[in-house]
Amino acid sequence: MAQRFTVAIDGPAAAGKGTLAKLIAAHYGLPHLDTGLLYRAVGRKAADLGLDLDDPDAAGAVARSLTPSALDDGSLRGREAGELASRVAVHPSVRSALETFQRDFAGQPAGAVLDGRDIGTVIAPDAEVKIFVTASPEVRARRRTDELAAKGRAPDYERILAEVRERDLRDAGRATAPLKPAADAHLLDTSEMAIDAAFLAARELIDGFLARRG
């Protein structure tokens, strides 16, 4: 019988945690949740229903009704969805509902892989494997610039670098669930790593845990 385990992957934007989480989930046959899409999905659904995004009761009701299939909407990764997410994310009712969603996902009988910013510290502190993926602000800004350029846009590297640094400060300094590694997380700096190397390093951590557990 396959061993059940949960992998919590945290880290700042553009560090590579999302791609790494998908690869890990596929390799070990585990369900994967990109938790960053949750607030975007709530904002998108509330807007589509014509609700007032500044109404905590309405937004909370949408969050409580959210299903995993809502995360398949390709528009959730766009700028508009990000702006909608920022409006609903301020409501405690939304945060509470989405924390429950994430904990339920992490507690599946088969285990799971979740990536975000507070998985190992808040959502799944008992996860068997915790990985904090990071990279220098300059590398992350370059990755984001290249990503946008590949989509035919003309990004400004210096502006994106400033945004990355500003978001890092905001995420690390927030009063609720600040971005930081869990005490028992493995630090994986991908500044000098291609994704294949990062995936291999993560597999070594997970396989080591599985071997020790027997």
Q: What does the pLDDT look like over 51-83, one tens digit per residue?
A: 999 999 999 999 999 998 999 998 898 878 888
- In the three-class reduction of DSSP (H, G, I as helix; E, B as strand; rest coil), residue 158 is classed as helix
pLDDT at 193: 93
The structural domains of the chain, ordered by start, are: 1-31+111-214 (3.40.50.300), 36-107 (no CATH)
Q: Is 16 marked within a binding site? A: yes
For the ranges 17-21, 74-78, 102-106, which has the lowest average pLDDT? 74-78
Q: Which two tokens stand for residue 211?
A: 């071997």
Dihedral sign for Cα atoms in the order 3, 125, 68, 80: negative
Share of the chain above pLDDT 90, in %: 73
Q: Is 111 marked within a binding site? A: no
Nearest to 23 by CA among 133, 168, 174: 133
Q: Is 13 marked within a binding site? A: yes
Q: Is 176 marked within a binding site? A: no
Q: Is 19 marked within a binding site? A: yes
pLDDT at 149 over 60: yes
pLDDT at 1 over 60: no
Instruction: Answer left, alpha or beta for residue 111, where phi above 0 means left and psi between -120 and 50 means alpha.
Output: left
Across all residues in the chain, what is the average pLDDT?
Answer: 92
pLDDT at 131: 97
**Taking the mean position of all CA atoms in its chain, how far away is CA 40?**
12
Torsion of CA 71, 72, 73, 79, to 10 degrees: 60
- In the three-class reduction of DSSP (H, G, I as helix; E, B as strand; rest coil), residue 136 is classed as coil
Q: Is 22 marked within a binding site? A: no
Q: Is 12 marked within a binding site? A: yes
Threshold 0.85, pTM exceeds: yes
Helix (H) or strand (E) holding 25: helix 17-28
The maximal CA–CA distance of the chain, rounded, in angstroms, is: 52
Q: Residue 32: count other Cβ atoms within 10 Å of its Cβ.
A: 18
Binned at pLDDT 50, 70 and 90, residue 210 comes out as very high
Give tens-digit pLDDT for 162-200: 999 988 888 888 777 788 999 999 999 999 999 999 999
Could you tell me the CA-to-CA distances from 101 to 19, 49, 61, 123, 131 in Å, in that order? 21, 21, 13, 10, 21
